[in-house]
Chains A and B, each alone.
Chain A
Amino acid sequence: MTQEGETVQTADTKEQEDGYEPKLVAFLCKWCSYAGADLAGGGRIKYPANVRIIRVPCSCRIDPKLVVKALERGADGVLVSGCHPGDCHYTEGNYYTRRRMLMLFKLLEFLGLDPKRVQMSWVSASEGPKWAQVVEEITEDIKSLGPIST
């Protein structure tokens, strides 16, 4: 997939030094996962700089086409993350997301995309360490897969 228009520097600079560094786009719900990522930052927890975070009001805001578009525009992997079931700020947004993402993942898998490239997590506002661990694992997953070949 094309990699033009890339402006974020960290992973690119690193790539020149150590070889392949995947680009990971993460769509985070503002109430839980984004706050969780913030907590990880505030707590000085280290996690890979490969992730580019996009904050959305609710994980339910994440239209599957955003994920598809991220992949088309050069992301090597996409993470969708929201509140744990029952914790949604809007009561039930994340339940819809869960159904929708499952279907997206199944479709992409059928089309031949490795399921590890698109993943979903529940990260609450208090789960800074979990956030770091999720990013760590997904970055490793995608690193082992390499860039998407077109």
Chain B
Amino acid sequence: MKEITKKIRKEARKLLKDGRADLVIGYEQGSDEEVATPCFITDVSQVDRLVFDEHCYHNLAKYLVGQEGYLTSRFVAQEKRPRVAIVATPATMRSIVGLIQEHQFARDKLIILGILDGTLVGIEPDVVVGQIEEDQEKSARIQAQVREIEEMTASERWAWWEEQFSRCIRCYACRQVCPFCYCEQCISDENQPQWIGKSSSPENNRTWNIIRALHLVGRCTDCGECDRVCPVDIPLSLLAVKMAGEVEEAFDYKAGADVDAKPALHSFRPDDPDDFIR
């Protein structure tokens, strides 16, 4: 980890000095040693704030897109936008792949300081700044939980999810941390028609979470940020992992794996599964 920090600082310094980047998005230490927080370096003298450790799990791709994302801000003219370099974990890189696939920005707009863990990322980082261990235990745990739910009866599943969704306080943190939720206006903020009731009630919460999950099918790269930030512990990763599995099985497509592929629901094959249709 120490080595990675060193390498990141070195690369960031070089990029800023040579004028190849105006902004380096990375991590710095937060209020204490157990907290890391995203940081935004524009000046060589600040480079030593950059760190990398096991608390650096935030998906920084979030900061690239959306109304005020560095690469897409509607407040900054295209030619004035900074040239960005980003410290990217494998999860961040997979999100970047998806965002490029969705034409949010072009590959050459971004310098990627990549950290690899042996998992598939559909993009070549400009510089590899380090290697970390894959968290296999976590993905195995989520897979096991998905199977556990699949084995329940339909009404048990319904009751289980109703209980999970009933806790939702509609803070929309899941939406806000998601790099793929870059819509100018979210459907949940629309009033006329009001697709999703605004208040926290069982029907509204259910509708919100279903629609959110649907909007991410075939796009979500399973970085797990929504699950991590949910203050009321709704296991949103289960939906992500379940649907990623379905997409892979039905359409042989893996989000974040290939920057040149067309997103699963933006394409089709004439011989797609058809047996569920009367």
Interface size on B, residues (CB 8 A): 43
Q: Which residue of A lies closest to B273 (CB)?
A: A102
Say yes or no: is A31 at the interface (Cβ < 8 Å to chain B): no
Q: Is the CB of A98 within 8 A of B272?
A: yes
Option from B161, B203, B243 in Cβ contact (under 8 Å) with A103: B243
Say yes or no: is A52 at the interface (Cβ < 8 Å to chain B): no
Say yes or no: is A105 at the interface (Cβ < 8 Å to chain B): yes
Q: Is the CB of B160 within 8 A of A103?
A: no
Q: Is the CB of B217 within 8 A of A2?
A: no
Interface size on A, residues (CB 8 A): 36
Interchain CA distance A113-B158 in the complex, whole Å:
7
Q: Is the CB of B156 within 8 A of A112?
A: yes
Say yes or no: is B33 at the interface (Cβ < 8 Å to chain A): no
Q: Is the CB of A68 within 8 A of B155?
A: no
Say yes or no: is A54 at the interface (Cβ < 8 Å to chain B): no
Q: Is the CB of A103 within 8 A of B270?
A: no
Option from B159, B213, B272 in Cβ contact (under 8 Å) with A95: B272
Q: Is the CB of B278 within 8 A of A122?
A: yes
Output the least CB separation between B106 and chain A (Å): 25
Q: Is the CB of B276 within 8 A of A105?
A: yes
Say yes or no: is B233 at the interface (Cβ < 8 Å to chain A): no
Say yes or no: is A39 at the interface (Cβ < 8 Å to chain B): no
Residues 206-244 of chain B: 1 if any A CB is under 8 Å from the residue's CB, otherwise 0?
110011011001100000000000000000000100110
Which residues of A are in contact with B by a Cβ distance under 8 Å?
A: 1-2, 64-65, 68-69, 72, 85-86, 92, 95-96, 98-100, 102-114, 119-122, 134, 137, 149-150
